[in-house]
Amino acid sequence: MYKYILKRLLMMIPVLLGVVLIVFTLMYFSPGDPAKLMLGDSASEEDVQALREELGLNDPYIVQLGNYIKDLVTKLDFGNSYITGRPVMTEILERFPNTALLAVLAASVSVIIGVSCGVIAATKQYSIFDNIATAVSLIGVSMPSFWLGLMCVIIFSINLGLLPASGSYGPEYWILPSITLGTASAASIMRITRSSMLEVIRQDYIRTARAKGQVEKVVVLKHALKNALIPVVTVVGLQFGNLLGGSVLIESVFAIPGIGKYMIDAIKSRDMPVVMGSVLFLAIIFSFVNLMVDILYSYIDPRIKSQYKSAKRKQRLQKAGVVGENQ
């Protein structure tokens, strides 16, 4: 297991370097001059050129990319913001709790709704609830999250006045953003849970449990759901990474001071260090979440653990000369 974790950590290095290369290239060749945006239209050309020289924007593409990667690798330095002049990592860490809280709340909403509806739809296959849940899940997957957020603001904040439209000043401010962000994930989890439950409840051991007189609630929750959740765990882990990325738009819609809104504002002002640092930070979090999901998966599914132990035992026997290479 330790070798597997080390291998996955080493595989993250080229992935993160690829993220740096792609984002840096897009920001470098995108239109607009950060120096002009910082100084304003009334600034003279001499002032603009002086600021470009100070920020290193006059250096060639390869030089700027090399300097950024060198500082990143040797100093773990994401650079300083062009706008505020503060270290990018400091500003990211100040905003990350809001982004993480939004992702956790949205993940909780999606898991509770998705798993519950998926189990009920599977146990009541072809019923009215199953048909409605399937149709709603299809709509939820297809619906853009930012559009749903705007509709929630119009209905629940402007028309009904039940919930605040923006900000993060109390628990009630997180209800609409978490529901908006978690809707698409809930729909995906519901569909996966339903299909996995339908596959499991047709197995022989489920029929055996029912034949022994087990209560249907016990059969569903203890025997069927436990095994049906194995593929759901993987989907939930991937969805959590998607929630971190999806928070970029939701934070802008609901004016939540998180990494997403921070990155959108930086893109508008061509603040390259902030954009680079935000995307790279989210990529690192996403990679670690996927790694933790894979590790958790091996503990949830006994078959993976047994296959890993069998492979290690076979390697030991091969080294000892007990079995051949092709056995």
pLDDT for 314: 65
Residue recorded with tokens 């989907």: 235
Q: Which amino acid is at 98?
A: N
| pLDDT at residue 90 tops 80 | yes
CA distance 214 to 216: 6
pLDDT for 312: 61
Average pLDDT, the chain: 83
Q: Over range 158-182, report the average pLDDT.
A: 87
pLDDT for 51: 80
CA distance 11 to 17: 11
| pLDDT at residue 315 tops 60 | yes
Q: Return the CATH architecture of domain 88-316.
A: Orthogonal Bundle (1.10)
Nearest CA to 241 among 110, 82, 64, 151?
110
CA distance between the termini of the chain: 23
The kind and range of the H/E element at 222 are none
Q: How confident is the model at residue 55 (pLDDT cuts 50, 70, 90)?
A: confident
Nearest CA to 101 among 303, 307, 258, 289?
258
Cβ atoms of 229 and 241 within 8 Å: the answer is no
Domain ranges of the chain: 22-75, 88-316
pLDDT for 41: 72
Q: Over range 110-138, report the average pLDDT.
A: 89
Q: For 265-307, what is each residue's pLDDT tens digit?
A: 888 888 888 988 888 898 888 888 888 877 777 776 666 666 6
| pLDDT at residue 319 tops 70 | no
DSSP 174: G
| pLDDT at residue 325 tops 60 | no
Cβ atoms of 286 and 99 within 8 Å: the answer is no
The kind and range of the H/E element at 4 are helix 2-29
Q: For 208-267, what is each residue's pLDDT tens digit?
A: 888 888 888 888 887 788 788 878 887 887 788 778 877 788 888 888 888 888 888 888
